[in-house]
Structure 1
């Protein structure tokens, strides 16, 4: 059997003069720092205390020297199988690197997005020295010359196939941190006479869903007569449902390097269907291909697949297994800032948060890193649909033959690697490449367009013809960001965008707000979070809508992308400022998402739902920044996250407050829903409901329905609160909502007192008066972080019973609940006596 040894331990690194020639004597000098891999230079230096955390305020500048140096990685490893064909497999090198084994130069690698595999059979000894010389990309850029026709139209860093966000501060910090080093596994692969070099698997489901077909093309190297290929399919319970055995053919007799390639098609009758999250289960079949010789398996490839039928009748109008699926999700950023190394624990935590937020989709942004196989395993298992982009972000790109060849190589690797995934919905060329050029260089011919219009399109059509390829995001229509024809990015805060109210697809919805106070203080410090001389006033002379110190923690003109803070009370403290921005952010996202969920104006309730999906931006923070994320640097969700969670609920009640007030019911669940709709007016001063409308309601799966208007209430005070509940025949609340008919800045809220009880990990909250924005927080011996509440920052009316699961890492501690406008906080202990109430 093929032997795979991970060469992850006993490495050491040291800095080196940029682009100097490397020789043996230099390797014997001191200054080596022990490490393991995958591990990039900044995280090694931070772990050893040799740099301060570049995420800390002002520390990014002190780390600039790291990327201005070359860096050497070195290890010594044993080899105990001489004579067998062997390879060194580098799964992730970042980025310009010369590779040496036992003093012999093996290769130069210049693309961080693709692995490199090198045969080393003749060079291996019992003890081996492996050296990787990473060259300074900054030094490379200093000496690089852009052709005249590219100058002023793209950054010199575009000459390198490396993350764009190693050269800009969009994700933070200021100035940027340019990563370098080994970010994925290094493997020694020893071949037992024969190996599989590629296993191309295509999965199809018949139109009637009764037959699944699995097309194989398995290629390899080396065999003797009598070698066979065995392919098997096992169902989700592990039972063998289909297999095939094929004798290997090909190559030249007598050669140890004989190549071979075999194709086959296996069928599965009545396959269990794979569904997106919220619409059914996610059964996964195991497909394996193994080469056998002399009665032994010499190499094996195993992949998991799912059977689903995807149809796109119109742009972004997807049907899966005959059911229309709208996409409610988020656009992710890089998982970590200091390194490109994959953190699976952090990724899974973000996926948990995504599921808690009622999302069924994730957009893998062109500015993000290459995601690990473990992420796609989870997406398949959880039923999360993926919008997968190639690695390009904002503006023009080189159009040289060499550069295009690198991009094609990347695309071929990605498509072959991921095409069998049931979670993968469609491919996309990149993020804001054409739109960025339209903004920055209006009227200038686009450079590099053939990468997206020809190269990637050809790769996808050749290797994965049954999956949609989208040229770029955004793309389509009279201009790239046209919401009437393609997908659109929400720039309505700084641009007038015709048709923005009812777009076909919002691929990015972004507004800026700071995280919760506890996180903000942790990475700003009290003095910078709220300077002593700051009044909170915003005047015509104010350069920013917040303290000047905040601007050091934002990017991409984040101060121009603020939500409608003018609807909320002025701030005179850090707490009130964080609330104002967070509540405005939540208000904006709630309104825009609910409008998109309705998908059509109340003046045309029988029309088609125009909007096919919505993605908030960004999902997570790579660094400590003030921008638009739902999850902060410490993996803490805050106010906008919970607004999105409620707006993405599969069954949604929503008010459209216009010239008239309408109540809608939207059902994006898998089943029809029915019950009685109660629409009521609540008088906060009298602390009582004063009027009610009842309607019998039935809303089909995938339907958006205007249920009633509120005209029979006639005129009423703007201080009244709108409240609606959909109750099924069993008396269960299917959905609820409340809303205002005036801006919050004009409303006065009572001093509500909450009552808390606890059973197991479920907190129950009731209130004596209307409670605006109930915030839950926890403390476990002073630790305020790692508390994940199923819901938070919610409104609560008298008579309602709110149950919230505690989902975070803490199993004990004090939970506090407090409405924002009330001075009355309630506490309860989690653990010890979980049924005891608190006040």
Structure 2
């Protein structure tokens, strides 16, 4: 029986593989590994036995209770608070399995009971005997059980302790000094001391999500039996040498019953490369390494991010079996070097030697209950469809499922991978450190096989929390917390990552000053310094239409504004009494302090707030205006970052990344997301499709002059066309053109500059209040990229803005007709899942056709009944 390889990939020029099965094909190996899944139907009961029910594995207690009718939808109205009792009880999962049914030969020399994911604190019994304990949601647990198995029925019990009470007990045991924060803000309605338990941090609540401290077997359970050895995992640390040669260091993680000799032959026929290795596997768990050299005469096709090339792969063959597996090649560097005209350092990613501007967002858990997460295909496809090339997997959620990273590989989405620590200090007792070490080692071994993962980051915002004193730590105690910080993230997390995977960069935190933070002892005086590293920036009271309010940073890894989801998303989890912006439901759903008021204050700077007498219309109009405001705010900020990539002004600039907060939602509530829970695109996501386009014109005003920059990911000869429109008319008042300009790939260049007064005077009938501008870029073949717009005044001050009297034809294609300029035209088909080819747009033509892509079977009749069309003037 030959070695079986499940997955192999190249990352950073390194072959990274995940193997399963048994290493046979060796003279000393005569038997194969036998694996039996124990997932499926189990039974579940609470501590006093008053509840007993069937439960699926993988799964969790909340899902089982809902599926069996013991509770309603946990997301309905106020159920997150009503169902708090679930997380305060203890629960036991039980299953009975028969070895004869599974055809397991108990004579195998070793049998392991493997748990891929236990959430979180549990004791495990097999046939009444304790075989292990768990305390970390992010670890795999292997338990040796051979001598406890019987030929007949075997009873397996996993008894879970309340994660809330466990975290509280751990906090009490840590009596020497506090480890803040003690509890989340009251507005989050969450649980305390989540930093004392290694589980999804946001499960105790966050400012965009509910508190559902889950329990359960959230990943698979199985038995693995073998006589000689099992290959747990294969990965590799690749190197791309200065003589342009790929050298692949392959690492095998093996569990051997006894010392075993063997031979492995790996080859990539298309690259004319083959390597045969004689090796000795020592007794117990060991790491074994060998090197595969790639033929220097071969031209290796490389993996590229979305928008910069394809994602080609090769077939890796293990010669004993003849099986082939995908292999990817690419290199990644994080460049931090002196910048001409600036006292700081650069901060950008170079993929395959090419500087790449990261365009994307931040990923949070897609559901409070991981067993209910549908495949990530839709959300990731939506990211690609919005011209994104990167996502940051945020450090307060979970390390995502394998499928997530495989899809990112295939779609060319770069992944900034945080480790799961967020917005807190953490304890550093020996047992906590030890479980973290195992967690980090396992996750790096699992994920480093993916070319999409381009960086590891130790935590989310913990350097900033310590440096800027989020938790009011007395000055005399700060050295203690700094020591704990270095112990956890530098001496342990960083050390393990560097040992396991030197093919990618590692940052200790985000935001951070990167190399400068290291020089300052890992905690910089100001981790938000725009001259170094990455920044997070939020401001809800300053005018978001004014680009001067934003930091001209090297890399923007978090920024954003809230909005509410659409009415069709809220309706299934609410009742009529909830359909008001000032209802108890609306207040309950908002987990960010004063968030609902902040949205209206920001909207009121540029828009008239809805004032319909009909309560439901006023509510839906308000939902709409929050989405308009969010879209316009994030558009302005993102365009500022994209046009700053080629400039240094007062030492600041050369921005090389814009990852707004956040891509997706965990439930139906107001948040910073651009995609609602369930997958529906907000107006922001349609805007992202334009502001992340490969070719984009961006306008802004400075010293009463209008400037327009041409931005291009790839080299183009471009010229600009600008049109001025009266709010009351659909014929342009005037049109201006620029000369042809070469815009190198990965740059932003000024293509137009003119005083606003002179521009308006040249148009004749235009003033700031009566006109607006549209503009686009062209090359010899026609328009390149989207048409953009620039408002010369706030829409609330615009003279001539009127209800456009839009009419529409129904069906999969919607044809709109308008008699006047219509800003922020929004098409909605209620609860029919899908997306429009364009939405939230500025309509400056009499006729426009928009397509609809349905994500489930529907009909023209259903779409016709559901379709509504709204523009800005309709909500006044």
2:560 to 491, 497, 510: 510
CA deviation profile, 1:760-805 (whole Å, cap 9, x unmatched) = x6656564432221212236xxxx3312223211112127856545
Residue 485 (structure 2) pairs with residue 449 (structure 1) = yes
CA deviation profile, 1:2-27 (whole Å, cap 9, x unmatched) = 2222211231111115xxxxxxxxxx
Residue 687 (structure 2) pairs with residue 643 (structure 1) = yes
Q: Distance in 2 between matches of 1:698 and 1:166?
A: 50
1:150 to 163, 166, 177: 177
Residue 147 (structure 2) pairs with residue 111 (structure 1) = no
Q: Is the 8 A contact 2:115 2:141 kept in 1?
A: yes
Q: Distance in 1 between matches of 2:645 and 2:324?
A: 48
Superposition deviation, residue 384 in structure 1: 0.5
2:373 to 317, 336, 343: 343
Task: Give RMSD over aligned pairs.
Answer: 3.2
Q: Distance in 2 between matches of 1:568 and 1:247?
A: 72
Q: Distance in 1 between matches of 2:287 and 2:413?
A: 36
Q: Is the 8 A contact 2:694 2:785 kept in 1?
A: no
Q: Distance in 2 between matches of 1:565 and 1:624?
A: 21
Q: Distance in 1 between matches of 2:114 and 2:702?
A: 61
Return 108-117 or 565-574, whichever deviates more: 565-574
Q: Distance in 2 between matches of 1:495 and 1:717?
A: 26
Partner of residue 273, structure 2: 242
Return 591-600 or 499-508, whichever deviates more: 499-508
Partner SS state of residue 823, structure 2:
strand
Partner of residue 56, structure 2: 36
2:240 to 205, 219, 227: 205
Q: Distance in 1 between matches of 2:236 and 2:408?
A: 18
**Structure 2: tracts of 5 or more residues without a match:** 1-31, 183-192, 338-345, 514-523, 612-617
Superposition deviation, residue 360 in structure 1: 0.6
2:198 to 161, 166, 172: 161
Q: Is the 8 A contact 2:552 2:652 kept in 1?
A: no
Partner of residue 749, structure 2: 705
Partner SS state of residue 83, structure 2:
helix
Q: Is the 8 A contact 1:92 1:182 kept in 2?
A: yes
Return 718-727 or 191-200, whichever deviates more: 191-200
Partner SS state of residue 69, structure 2:
coil
Residue 648 (structure 2) pairs with residue 612 (structure 1) = no
Q: Is the 8 A contact 2:825 2:872 kept in 1?
A: no
CA deviation profile, 1:738-758 (whole Å, cap 9, x unmatched) = 121101111242343557679
Residue 170 (structure 2) pairs with residue 132 (structure 1) = no
Matches within 5 A, 1:407-426: 407-426=436-455
Q: Is the 8 A contact 2:58 2:220 kept in 1?
A: yes
Return 447-456 or 371-380, whichever deviates more: 447-456
Superposition deviation, residue 97 in structure 1: 0.7
Residue 329 (structure 2) pairs with residue 306 (structure 1) = yes
2:499 to 450, 458, 462: 462
Q: Distance in 1 between matches of 2:795 and 2:708?
A: 22
Superposition deviation, residue 152 in structure 1: 6.5
C-alpha change, 1:287 and 1:454, in structure 2 (3 Å) is: farther
Q: Distance in 1 between matches of 2:710 and 2:304?
A: 20
Matches within 5 A, 1:433-448: 433-437=462-466, 438-441=469-472, 443=475, 445=478, 446=481, 448=484
Partner SS state of residue 377, structure 2:
helix
| Bigger relative CO (Cα 8 Å, ≥ 6 apart) | 2
Residue 637 (structure 2) pairs with residue 592 (structure 1) = yes
Partner of residue 366, structure 1: 395
Partner SS state of residue 470, structure 2:
helix
Partner of residue 736, structure 2: 693
Superposition deviation, residue 359 in structure 1: 0.8
Q: Distance in 2 between matches of 1:351 and 1:694?
A: 38
CA deviation profile, 1:578-598 (whole Å, cap 9, x unmatched) = 222211111111111111111
Name the structure where helix makes up a greater proportion of residues.
2
The two structures have a TM-score, normalised by structure 2, of 0.82
1:729 to 757, 780, 798: 780
Partner SS state of residue 564, structure 1:
helix
The two structures have a TM-score, normalised by structure 1, of 0.85
Matches within 5 A, 1:318-329: 318-329=349-360
Superposition deviation, residue 811 in structure 1: 4.7
Superposition deviation, residue 453 in structure 1: 2.9
Q: Distance in 1 between matches of 2:649 and 2:212?
A: 51
Q: Distance in 1 between matches of 2:448 and 2:286?
A: 24
Partner SS state of residue 639, structure 2:
helix
Partner of residue 855, structure 2: 808
Residue 67 (structure 2) pairs with residue 47 (structure 1) = yes
**Structure 1: tracts of 5 or more residues without a match:** 18-28, 532-545, 825-839
Residue 107 (structure 2) pairs with residue 83 (structure 1) = yes
C-alpha change, 1:731 and 1:768, in structure 2 (3 Å) is: farther
Partner SS state of residue 182, structure 1:
coil
1:564 to 602, 606, 616: 602
Partner of residue 432, structure 2: 403
Residue 125 (structure 2) pairs with residue 100 (structure 1) = yes
CA deviation profile, 1:697-722 (whole Å, cap 9, x unmatched) = 33121110111123352444112110
Partner SS state of residue 456, structure 1:
helix
CA deviation profile, 1:340-363 (whole Å, cap 9, x unmatched) = 337352x11110111111111000
1:582 to 627, 630, 654: 627
Q: Distance in 1 between matches of 2:526 and 2:334?
A: 26
2:589 to 553, 571, 577: 553
Q: Distance in 2 between matches of 1:580 and 1:16?
A: 48
Return 93-102 or 316-325, whichever deviates more: 316-325
Q: Distance in 2 between matches of 1:31 and 1:600?
A: 59
Q: Distance in 2 between matches of 1:650 and 1:823?
A: 33
2:347 to 316, 333, 339: 316
C-alpha change, 1:603 and 1:120, in structure 2 (3 Å) is: closer
C-alpha change, 1:416 and 1:69, in structure 2 (3 Å) is: same
Matches within 5 A, 1:219-258: 219-222=253-256, 228-234=262-268, 241-251=272-282
1:261 to 288, 299, 306: 288
C-alpha change, 1:792 and 1:225, in structure 2 (3 Å) is: same
Partner of residue 6, structure 2: none
